[in-house]
Chain A
Amino acid sequence: MRRFSLGKYLLPTYVVLAFIFLMFPIAYTFVFSFNDPFKNTPGWQGFTFDNWTGVCNNEAVCQAFGNSVLIAVIATIISTILGTMLAIAVSRYEFKFRSATNLLLFLPLATPEVVMGAGLAAQFFNVGIPRGLGTIIVGHILFTLSFVVVTVKARIATLDPKLEEAGRDLYAPPTQVFMKITLPLLLPGIMAAALLSLALSFDDYIVTAFNSGTETTFPKYVYAAALRGIPPEANVIGSAVFFFAIALVLVFQLGGALKRKRHAKLK
């Protein structure tokens, strides 16, 4: 292949610099999770492991974290199930109002979260439902649902319909075709959708701000704390969640990449 002069040194150098820029806030959060909390002044005060070993000494942050995990898990389970069903319906079946359904599924992606949050809050207010954990979960299912649909739809598009046809040709009933062929093939897409939904829910501040009432979540805690300075325990939780998620993604991504490499070698 011919070389393009721009690509030789300039582009790789740029990419390295861009990644340093992208990673900076992550590094900052990790470093400041070791900041010595005892002197209540901003900036670096000294190194300590205390924030990591005694993260729940800061009860408020731990409770907020617990709420966020609970909300994210429940919202993800529900939105993954609903979203997968919708994705299968719109990509595998022909029905009246199919394009209208597609538009309805696209619209939440085009709606700013602040509009979704305010609308939902207005709705709860009009109907007289008090805001709390339940209303936060309802909001999180709402904005993660379309992401699940998009992700699972993308996976369905890559499936070979012949595999299911083969199942039907062998007289497998539809439920068996679904459980033994379709679902296992969709599983990577469903897993990816669930992970995305977990990450989005866990990180949400905007929809939560409108629908949480007096309940606190991790982002809500950080938002309020940011006015004066974030306690190092929040950085500990942020860093721990980061490493956990990145480990999951690396396992998925590198697993896929190694598989492709092996295939390439076999060819």
Chain B
Amino acid sequence: MSTQVLVKKAKSTGKPKNSKVVLLLLLPGIFYLGLFFITPFASLITTSLQAPVLGGGIGVYQPGLEFGNYVFVVTEYLDQIIRSFIYATLATLLALAISYPIAYFIAVKARNKPVLQALLLTLVIAPFFISFLLRTFAWKQVFGQNSWLSTILRDTGLMADDQFLLGSSFAVVFGLTYNFIPFMTLPLYTNLERLDTALLEAGSDLYATPTSTFWKVTFPLSIPGITSGTLLTFIPVAGDFVTASGNFLGTPNTSMIGNVIEANYITIQDFPSASALSVLLMAAIVVLVSVYIRRTGTEDLL
């Protein structure tokens, strides 16, 4: 069998073909994804077209072709849809601005200090190991009505007495940015790790200022890292409903599309509306991601 593998290997792309082994390796995982990832999409689509049953109770629907459900959710929840994309864009850009220098420092400045590098990387992923919800709750306390921060802002006149930090768009975007910084920093770090510092020296040897060396050399080379970082941040932020929920940093005035899906599915049990919104969110993300990947020329990310 081993010689057979080797012969086949020599012929084609250098990768062995062994259909029995491949099948055995692939089948369980593909079966799982087919059953619990692909068919649920079909379920979402059929559910999104369901019609209410006349005289039926809450959460009772029958199969149908109610394309009007889509028109309904878009008109009813337009504010939340637009808000989600604005919040997600803002949080992604802020996370990029905050993370880039951190990633640069760890990957380039600390390159010859492996212990410092390992320590800083551990600190970057440290927030992952404490519950997402506990982290967000900590910021809730900071933004609270009688918190030290609110008191300082009121005393210095930066915030009016009838203004609140908690529940504002600022608090929600702040929380989203904070929660997803590691998702941005890690891909940036992985990319900048491979940055050849000789190129930076070449830049300065040719009398380029550090600023122009950065914009002409470092930044363009880091675009694949920026692309995967922004995608890894934007997608979960656009669908997040923890940060913007009334239990944490938001109010109904800061609801995002995730909050609407959750409320419709779990609380109101309006399954068709929740499903229609999920389908729309997924479609929007697929379109955005493919356009974005094509624009930045990073198709090989897939």
Chain A interface residues toward B at CB < 8 A: 1-2, 4-7, 11-12, 14-15, 18-19, 21-26, 28-29, 42-43, 82-83, 85-86, 88-89, 92-95, 101-108, 110-116, 118-123, 125-126, 138-139, 141-142, 145, 168, 171-174, 177, 199, 203, 205-206, 209-210, 218-219, 222-224, 226-227, 230, 234-235, 238-239, 241-242, 245-246, 249-250, 253-254, 256-258, 260-261, 264
A231–B147 Cα distance when bound, in Å, is: 18
Among B39, B104, B133, B247, the one with the most A-chain Cβ atoms within 10 Å of its Cβ is B133
Query: Are B129 and A199 neighbours in the complex by a CB distance under 8 Å?
Result: yes
A101–B136 Cα distance when bound, in Å, is: 36
Query: Are A103 and B302 neighbours in the complex by a CB distance under 8 Å?
Result: yes
Please pick, from B32, B231, B278, the residue contacting A145 in the complex, using a CB distance under 8 A.
B32
Main secondary structure of the interface of A (DSSP, over half): helix
A-B contact pairs, 24 of them (CB 8 A): A11-B109, A22-B178, A23-B127, A26-B135, A85-B28, A93-B16, A93-B21, A112-B235, A113-B239, A114-B257, A115-B278, A116-B37, A118-B261, A120-B40, A122-B275, A123-B36, A171-B2, A203-B132, A219-B132, A219-B133, A226-B136, A226-B140, A226-B247, A260-B114
Q: Least Cβ distance of B98 to chain A in Å? A: 6
Please pick, from B6, B98, B121, B125, the residue contacting A168 in the complex, using a CB distance under 8 A.
B6
Residues of B within 8 Å of A1, CB to CB, are 197, 201
Residues of A within 8 Å of B144, CB to CB, are 42
A122–B128 Cα distance when bound, in Å, is: 29
Residues of A within 8 Å of B240, CB to CB, are 112, 114, 206
B153 CB-CB contact with A under 8 Å = no
Query: Are B241 and A114 neighbours in the complex by a CB distance under 8 Å?
Result: yes
Residues of B within 8 Å of A23, CB to CB, are 123, 126-127
A12–B149 Cα distance when bound, in Å, is: 26
Q: Contacts A18-B102, A112-B258, A168-B5 known; A223 to B17 CB distance under 8 Å?
A: no
Task: Annotate B1-38 by CB proximity to A: 1 below 8 A, 0 otherwise.
Answer: 11001100000110111110110111011101100111
Residues of A within 8 Å of B17, CB to CB, are 93-95
Main secondary structure of the interface of B (DSSP, over half): helix
Q: Contacts A92-B15, A171-B2, A174-B1 known; A241 to B114 CB distance under 8 Å?
A: no
Query: Are A238 and B118 neighbours in the complex by a CB distance under 8 Å?
Result: no
- Chain B residue at smallest Cβ distance from A148: B29
- Chain A residue at smallest Cβ distance from B36: A142
B47 CB-CB contact with A under 8 Å = yes
